[in-house]
Structure 1
Amino acid sequence: MRTINSFKNILFGLSGQFISVFMGFAVRTVFIYSLGIEYMGIDGLFSSILIMLSLANLGFDTAIIYSLYKPLAENDIQKIKALMNLYQKAYRIIGLIIFLLGMILFPFIPFLIKDGKIINHLNIIYFLFLVNSVLSYYFVYKQAIIIADQKTYIISKIHNYFIVFSNIIQILILLMTKNYILLLSFQVLIRIIENVYIVGKVHKLYPFLKGKNNVQLNKNDKKEFFKNLYSLFLYKVSGVVINGTDNIIIARYVGIIQVGMYSNYLLIISTLSTFISHVFYSLNSSVGNLVVTEEKEKKYFIFRVIHFANFWVYGLTTLLIWNLINPFIIIWLGKEFVFNKLILFSILLNFLTAGMQSASTTYRQTTGLFNKGKYRPIIAAVINIVLSLILVRIIGITGVFIGTVVSRLCTYFWYDPFIIYKYIFGKPVKRYFLRYAIYFTLIVLSIFITETIFLFSFSNLIFRTFSSLIIPNALFYIVFRKTKEFIYLKSVVNNVLGIGKRKILKKKSTSL
């Protein structure tokens, strides 16, 4: 059942990403040509500010989802209702706090932008961003039970429909009015409609959540929950600072146009990242179920499989982006929107080191290791801000991303696997780092091989794409084809595609 739900989650998540990719590029292209790169920079900056304000979330979402795994497995309805009641109350307060913090920031918005005078109605634009963010907190808490119950595909399916409708209307608004404020107003409206629809779906699936819910957690459960929540809040601080400050620093010290240029790269990279993370995030609830029901060796083997899949997918994607993104942006928007190779390298190093952390993050979240090294995220956040502010003055936009990478390497990179291997697997962590070194070396080798080929041969976009797919996959297959991780993944994929069943049926028909 875990495997079926995981692949349903992955399937609908990936289909949603295909739709998002196509519609996202369409909207982005119309946006840039209708409003200009400056407004795209504003879009990226205000999104980053709201990421910072989401600190008020505290990590409630992760804490609640983790707490729901066991009562869902045991069908403990009263415990589920108590947790959802707590989540509802918390998010109403969180929404209010974010709104108040956002309003406090109002007078300072112009000072965050080096060249902000080129944008009209800045305060109205910011207010609509804020409202769009705050309103979701009054609905989104109901989604937690679907996610914890290994049915994320339900949310993905609904979201896919709304993506298509929303983006078509946004394109029409841009083409007919070129009015950014009208566009943002529509985004607020469609967000409300989608969230209300999902709440209705939750009530159909879990009718015991309909109506008034006054069930309370007992004293011990509440104490354990808030203990985990405190540690998660510290992780939340670090994640928000690491992911949310880049655009703010670039806007303040480099310029809003560069934020707009970076947002084009970010659209492509974050789309691919979200596409990939849907695969790995879809495994979270299944891993959570595995953690509470399986033996230590099974947990360890599945971790190795996820880490191996993690390497293959992120390694291949990094190579594809390195070889294709600049030629693609030249075709799409023009040479004036392209970053140099040094900036691209720093962006991709950030992408790869974050992506390769996914297996450790999944196990840390699903095994409840929230309290181990709980102050380390604060250290990561401080390192990130200090280094980024120093390096941006020395080497420009590249320094912002290098600061983010270094902060991650000094903290999450080594400590997350350390605590997982020590407390969950009871094994030395050097096995993890040895595998990581092998994986990273193969990724670098793949890049070197393709760069050499392109240097001494004719290389258009089609040839680059073909080479970037064939070379790393062939190299990874040759090295890992006999490993247990590869054999296991191959068997899972074959079972999902029905290849094994078709072979059996073919043999039977032959014998007849």
Structure 2
Amino acid sequence: MNEMRKIYLRRNTLMSIVFEILTIICGFILPRYILLYFGSDTNGLVSSISQFLGFISLCELGMGAVVPASLYKPLAENNQNKISSIVVSAQRFYRFIGILMLIYIAALIAFYPNLVKDSFNFTFTASLIGIVSISIFAQYFFGITYSLLLKADQKQYISFIVNSVTLVLNTLISVALIKWGYSIHTVKLVSAIIFVARPFFLTIYVKKHYALNLEIKYKDEPIKQKWNGIAQHLASTVQEKTDTIILTLFSTLLNVSVYGVYFMVINGMRGLVYSLTAGMSALIGNMLARNEKKELVAVFEKFEWVMHTLTTLIFTITGLLVVPFIQVYTNGISDANDYIVPGFALIMSIAIAARCIQMPYNVVVQAAGHFKETQASAIIEPVVNIMISVIMVFKFGLVGVAIGTLVSMIYRVLYLAFYLMKNIIYIKAGSFFKQLLADSMSAFIMVFSVSFININVDSYIKWIGVAIVITFICGIECIGINIIFYKKYAISSINLFINKLIRTGGR
């Protein structure tokens, strides 16, 4: 790996981690104040609306893999005309998608308030949808093409910096407005104004550092498989939003709120794991564009091990500590007891862990541009989730939708792993099962070894103390298991960590 790629990878990873940590912190703070000042029903309403409007994320990720995949080769070759034509094509496509999204928002404003009319009147809900949609639309639509260009060029850290600043600013101002007695509508409107600033700054940076010709004409479509990418992300978006939508339709806003609080924590851990992959997609895409097959296999195998190992460690700890955290987090809320659902917490932790384990396989498949080839499985995943969740939600509630999510995610990770091994990186299936065995043994030993620790706590200080002890024990055990199964990777990672500590201490 050349030095410049290493620098970009470090920058992307560092800023991604910073952004995800800030996302987790801010994600804990704001819902807590909404729960305290507006109640569970309003928090459930905001969470539900956000999930329904989350389909707008189609604008970011619908071609968020296809556009970078198209850009890797022209960026590697410094083909400015090709880069410009791809950017222009993407901008035209997003204008079309934007019109569809506006129609969707209008339909949501017309019909969604009827789903919650027993708790909120039409005007309250419809106006809140309109306001929240501005915020989400600003984040996912305006300037998205430039964000994807930076991602493909291994400069995603620029986007992370802008996103981090606006995220912190939004949290500080929102909390202040809530404490000063402003309505939820005012709070969300101010958020929308803040998030509109994101694309403004990205546009300035791109125009200053890239020689794009936005007037360029082209005959042949420069972005291949765009509709296959859209189909895949539409399926992915449905998968992400299925649980909340089913709970909104067939359960209560309280259950939506409970789901939202747990998902906030568990998904925050997913974001932390994902932050470690920032830059990997562009790095692997660059290797594929340069046909560096031997180096690609070596990078992938270590990437796979890192993702499996960290996911197993982080989500085992999450599964052990999430309920005690929620217990402290909801202290003082009138219906706090309804938020203690251990079975749901366990299943969702495993389900999101499966999503994280899927990441290395998905990154390579997308970087290789295999969207059409894997489209069917992407559609099957949410179909499985919906079918199982709808059947089970009536009897098992939150646990029912969690089971649907788990089964569908296990299917998808198995499919992608075997597709990758047969069609892109030709490695033996035995290596995948060896990794799953190491994951399973690590998780079992970690859970068994800390089962004697009392995790019933009533304050953040006590929770932090217990978390430190459990994390230390689980960390040592996870390292031990991986020294047995993956001695080379484990020892090299330990040495790298020690060397960094020594260099840091010597400064």
**Equivalence for 2:449:** 449
- Does the residue aligned with 1:427 lie in a helix, a strand or coil? coil
Residues 1:95 and 2:95 aligned together: no
TM-score by length of 1: 0.89
Matching of residues 265-276 of structure 1 within 5 Å: 265-276=262-273
1:292 Cα offset (Å): 2.5
1:498 Cα offset (Å): 7.8
Q: What letter is aligned with 1:272? A: M
Cα deviations by residue, 1:39-67 (Å, 9 ceiling, x for unpaired): 11111111111123544668222111111
**Distance in 2 separating the partners of 1:237 and 1:161:** 29
**Equivalence for 1:296:** 293
**Distance in 2 separating the partners of 1:356 and 1:113:** 36
Cα deviations by residue, 1:459-510 (Å, 9 ceiling, x for unpaired): 9535531332122221222222362322444465567x3857999x9xxxxx
**Equivalence for 2:166:** 162
Residues 1:36 and 2:33 aligned together: no
Range moving further from structure 2, 4-13 or 274-283: 274-283
Change (3 A) 1:453 1:181: closer
Change (3 A) 1:113 1:317: farther
Change (3 A) 1:56 1:151: closer
Change (3 A) 1:193 1:303: same
1:294 Cα offset (Å): 5.3
1:88 Cα offset (Å): 0.8
Residues 1:2 and 2:5 aligned together: yes
1:90 Cα offset (Å): 0.9
**Distance in 2 separating the partners of 1:100 and 1:462:** 46
Structure 2 unaligned blocks of 5 or more = none
- Candidates 241, 246, 249, aligned match of 1:244: 241
- Candidates 110, 123, 129, aligned match of 2:126: 123
**Distance in 1 separating the partners of 2:501 and 2:75:** 30
**Distance in 1 separating the partners of 2:389 and 2:316:** 25
**Equivalence for 1:483:** 487
Matching of residues 469-508 of structure 1 within 5 Å: 469-481=471-483, 483-490=487-494, 493=497, 497=500, 499=502
- Candidates 189, 192, 198, aligned match of 1:188: 192
CA contact (8 A) 1:329 1:337 kept: no
CA contact (8 A) 1:86 1:216 kept: no
Q: CA RMSD in A?
A: 2.6
Cα deviations by residue, 1:247-269 (Å, 9 ceiling, x for unpaired): 11112222101111221222222
**Equivalence for 2:468:** 466
CA contact (8 A) 1:384 1:403 kept: yes
**Equivalence for 2:80:** 77
**Equivalence for 2:354:** 353
CA contact (8 A) 2:385 2:407 kept: yes
Q: What letter is aligned with 2:399? A: T
**Equivalence for 1:133:** 136
**Equivalence for 2:440:** 440
1:429 Cα offset (Å): 2.3
Residues 1:50 and 2:53 aligned together: yes
Q: What letter is aligned with 1:24? A: G
**Distance in 2 separating the partners of 1:332 and 1:403:** 27
Q: What letter is aligned with 2:380? A: I
CA contact (8 A) 2:113 2:121 kept: no
| Residue-pair matches, total | 493
Structure 1 unaligned blocks of 5 or more = 506-512
Range moving further from structure 2, 58-67 or 191-200: 58-67
Range moving further from structure 2, 288-297 or 189-198: 288-297
**Distance in 1 separating the partners of 2:250 and 2:186:** 30
CA contact (8 A) 1:287 1:366 kept: yes
CA contact (8 A) 1:330 1:337 kept: no
1:395 Cα offset (Å): 1.2
Residues 1:331 and 2:328 aligned together: yes
CA contact (8 A) 1:99 1:131 kept: no
**Equivalence for 2:178:** 174
Cα deviations by residue, 1:149-191 (Å, 9 ceiling, x for unpaired): 1111111112222222222111111111331111111111111
Change (3 A) 1:502 1:176: closer
**Distance in 1 separating the partners of 2:419 and 2:179:** 53
Change (3 A) 1:454 1:71: same
Cα deviations by residue, 1:303-328 (Å, 9 ceiling, x for unpaired): 22112111222112112222222222
**Distance in 2 separating the partners of 1:91 and 1:59:** 10
Q: What letter is aligned with 2:475? A: N
**Distance in 2 separating the partners of 1:56 and 1:292:** 25
**Distance in 2 separating the partners of 1:502 and 1:32:** 43
CA contact (8 A) 2:269 2:315 kept: no
1:291 Cα offset (Å): 2.5
Residues 1:197 and 2:194 aligned together: no
Cα deviations by residue, 1:348-395 (Å, 9 ceiling, x for unpaired): 121111111111111111122222232122222211111110010121
Matching of residues 253-264 of structure 1 within 5 Å: 253-264=250-261
Change (3 A) 1:499 1:257: same
**Distance in 1 separating the partners of 2:286 and 2:60:** 25
Matching of residues 295-444 of structure 1 within 5 Å: 295-334=292-331, 335-336=336-337, 338-410=339-411, 412-444=412-444
Q: What letter is aligned with 1:286? A: L
CA contact (8 A) 2:35 2:43 kept: yes
CA contact (8 A) 1:238 1:378 kept: yes
**Distance in 2 separating the partners of 1:116 and 1:156:** 38
Range moving further from structure 2, 447-456 or 61-70: 447-456
**Distance in 1 separating the partners of 2:117 and 2:413:** 34
Cα deviations by residue, 1:256-296 (Å, 9 ceiling, x for unpaired): 01111221222222222212211113322112212233543
- Does the residue aligned with 2:340 lie in a helix, a strand or coil? coil
- Does the residue aligned with 2:233 lie in a helix, a strand or coil? helix
**Distance in 1 separating the partners of 2:505 and 2:189:** 52
**Equivalence for 1:510:** none
**Distance in 2 separating the partners of 1:89 and 1:489:** 45
1:194 Cα offset (Å): 2.1
CA contact (8 A) 1:237 1:377 kept: no
CA contact (8 A) 2:446 2:478 kept: no
Q: What letter is aligned with 2:284? A: V
**Distance in 1 separating the partners of 2:87 and 2:346:** 44
CA contact (8 A) 1:114 1:251 kept: no
- Does the residue aligned with 2:450 lie in a helix, a strand or coil? helix
Cα deviations by residue, 1:408-442 (Å, 9 ceiling, x for unpaired): 223x2222111211122223323212322321332
CA contact (8 A) 1:3 1:286 kept: no
**Distance in 2 separating the partners of 1:484 and 1:372:** 34
CA contact (8 A) 1:63 1:232 kept: yes
CA contact (8 A) 1:34 1:178 kept: no
Range moving further from structure 2, 55-64 or 125-134: 55-64
1:82 Cα offset (Å): 0.3
CA contact (8 A) 1:59 1:232 kept: yes
TM-score by length of 2: 0.90
1:131 Cα offset (Å): 2.7
Q: What letter is aligned with 2:449? A: I
